[in-house]
Structure 1
């Protein structure tokens, strides 16, 4: 008998709106995640005291833990702290660092994890991956995806604008990652998952084509939902393939070669995606990517991230080593040092020319045609 369907793990709840955090207790009980309220709650130093005061009476059975840093050692420390008591679930309330640490800890403890996002810097909100610093620099660890996801737009509005913009670069880079996956499928026979591609592409296009800015709830909701869909696409694929290609190899190279100068992850992968489209020779998508990044105030040239062209050339040359065995346009192009130099220079010139007479301002306001 043919297999007519497949089972895909997905969050029991995805709640994106203002005031979503106030429903945490009800969601834990209604979804049978924790009817007793006996949960371990991991928070960051920024929002921790405020959130704890909010639930001082509503979650009397909860124990609170502060996450300080985003390293593998921090995650293991949290494991040891939580292991001392019995809990129904682990709740992470914070940005990407807090959520990645909490996901890893919950996986080690065999407990379901609830993600409450306080910013939209990257697509780890609902993904099955924790990105943590380690002795070798930074690593990605497979974990179960969150059982529930809450995004409170009241908290998002209080997050640093730069961190929210970073999520735009993260989601836009999906299109480049998909192009790399499709090339690996056609040129190397790598298996591709159409559903994962559809989820990742739909999420990216929704954000890329939205006329709003991070000052508007409608745009923030689309961005949040897109980041959740992107995470679910990785669950479907069983890997980061639908959202990680040459764009992320470039970002990982920055992290490893310049750990003290790295920017937000989404800022790096957004620029990496723009370079990947230029390297493919797809100027239409290159222009659309640069327009979107620039309109939202994200970096589009190496200098915007604080790197010289020579430094960026070294980053591009090193990037394939960060994901051995993953075929992307960087591997496909078989770049030599001379070709890297020429491509980086041309990319910088084209990006500079594109933003010199933009159709859209960097503040998100559409300008009159010149």
Structure 2
């Protein structure tokens, strides 16, 4: 009988540990990404000098570029610099803005990309998407998935707790995103990719059930793996579907209507919790609420710096941020009055579950 299978794109190497930055050169050589260290190292302005000092001994032939990341302009400027020499790979070292800038520039010129994450604020460390600002706001751009992913827990530990907390919110929101995808499959017959769902949900489940704290290596490793699996799940299905549902629609709406309010992960976490409540899955709702609360993330509008009225306005606007996406928000098609009524019920449910 014929053997049916498919080929999926995943990183050649994934390492989550302390001291990853210092061992960057050997990893590139061992994986045959760059034997001589002929790479472009891209760092942000924050910890850039310290990072360069750590990896310079093993990357003597590297060029170092410091970028103020996060914008389409900075990504294009970096791309113009990269084309002046033939590089084996682009190595983006830092947080989400630096990595997204490097991913976009590397993809533009067809150069393999290596991610070395020093924070765990979102799933961009391994995703085929770069989120960059431009004159019209903020956009998501398709890019190549990194050829290797490293997470240095020394830097993660020494970074702001709020970045790690944001990563927790982004990772566990995959549970709501997958539920929305299954809803679209049931109601509209939208094709669903079981492998993508499995990866996204498995990482989030491991995180939500982990007993550790953000100061524990075991918990940070589980968080990193959940974010990486979320990124790979998007690469497998060619869509952000397994990691972006009504939860992210709400986050995008908050960004549009009330910019600078909360971090992306915090907003996605609250959005996931509210969407789970709307679906009537009280068991999952309780799990999510306790997880967010235990790790110091907001569980309601006030924790994001929003009034109930502002949050209700964001929920009403949310479907307009992704007109092609069907989630519980589109399914219920709530009126402004219904949104406010459900939000009042939601606040009561939070009190019941958290005391």
Tell me which interval the TM-score lies in, with the shorter structure as reference length.
over 0.9
User: What is the aligned partner in structure 2 of residue 224 from structure 1?
Assistant: 224
Runs of 5+ unmatched residues, structure 2: none
Corresponding residue number in structure 2 for 1:111: 111
- Contact 2:29–2:36 under 8 Å retained in 1: yes
The residue number in structure 1 matching 2:177 is 177
**Superposed CA offset, 1:210-246 (max 9, x none):** 0001110011111111111111111111111001000
Q: Is the Cα–Cα contact under 8 Å of residues 276 and 285 in structure 2 kept in the other structure?
A: yes
Q: Which residue number corresponds to residue 368 of structure 1?
A: none
Say if 1:138 and 1:255, in contact at 8 Å, map to a contact too: no
- Measured against aligned partners, the alpha-carbon deviations of 1:25-46 in whole angstroms (never above 9, x if no partner) come to 0111121111121111110111
Equivalent in the alignment of 2:346: 347
In structure 2, the CA distance between the partners of 1:310 and 1:169, relative to structure 1 (3 Å rule), is same
Q: CA deviation at 1:21?
A: 1.7
Indicate the SS of the match to 2:293.
helix
Matches within 5 A, 1:192-207: 192-207=192-207
Aligned residue number for residue 65 of structure 2: 65
How far is the alpha carbon of 1:254 from its aligned partner? Answer: 1.0
Tell me the residue number matched to 1:301. 300
Give the alignment's Cα RMSD to 1 decimal: 1.2
Residue of structure 2 in register with 1:42 after alignment = 42
Distance 1:151 1:85 in 2: 27
- 1:122-160 CA-partner distances (Å, limit 9, x unpaired): 111111111111222211111110000001111111110
Unaligned runs of 5+ in 1: 358-370
The total of aligned residue pairs comes to: 355
Q: 1:281 matched to which residue of 2?
A: 280
Per-residue CA shift, 1:286-326, capped at 9, x if unaligned?
A: 11111100000001010000000110111001110111110
Q: Once the 2 structures are TM-superposed, how far is the Cα of residue 348 of structure 1 from its aligned partner?
A: 2.2
Q: Whole-Å Cα distance in 2 between the matches of residues 130 and 2 of structure 1?
A: 38
Deviates more, 1:301-310 or 1:62-71: 62-71
Preserved contact between residue 195 and residue 233 of structure 1 (Cα < 8 Å): yes
Q: Is residue 92 of structure 1 aligned with residue 92 of structure 2?
A: yes
TM-score (norm 2): 0.98
Are the equivalent residues in 1 in contact too, given 2:16–2:153 (CA < 8 A)?
Answer: yes
Alpha-carbon shift at residue 3 of structure 1 (Å) = 5.8
Q: State the SS of the aligned residue for 2:40.
A: strand
- Contact 1:301/1:352 (8 A) holds in 2: no
1:245 aligns with 2:250: no
In structure 1, the residue matched to 2:337 is 338
Distance 1:21 1:249 in 2: 35
Q: Secondary structure at the match of 1:149?
A: strand
Q: Give the match's secondary structure for 1:51.
A: helix
Counterpart for residue 26 of structure 2: 26
Say which is worse superposed, 83-92 or 99-108, in terms of deviation: 83-92
2-side partners of 1:125 and 1:3: how far apart? 33
Contact 1:169 1:266 (8 Å CA) reproduced: yes
- Structure 1 stretches of 4+ with a deviation exceeding 2 A read 55-58, 352-355
Q: Is the 8 A contact 1:137 1:255 kept in 2?
A: no
**Residues 40, 87 of structure 2: 8 Å contact kept:** yes
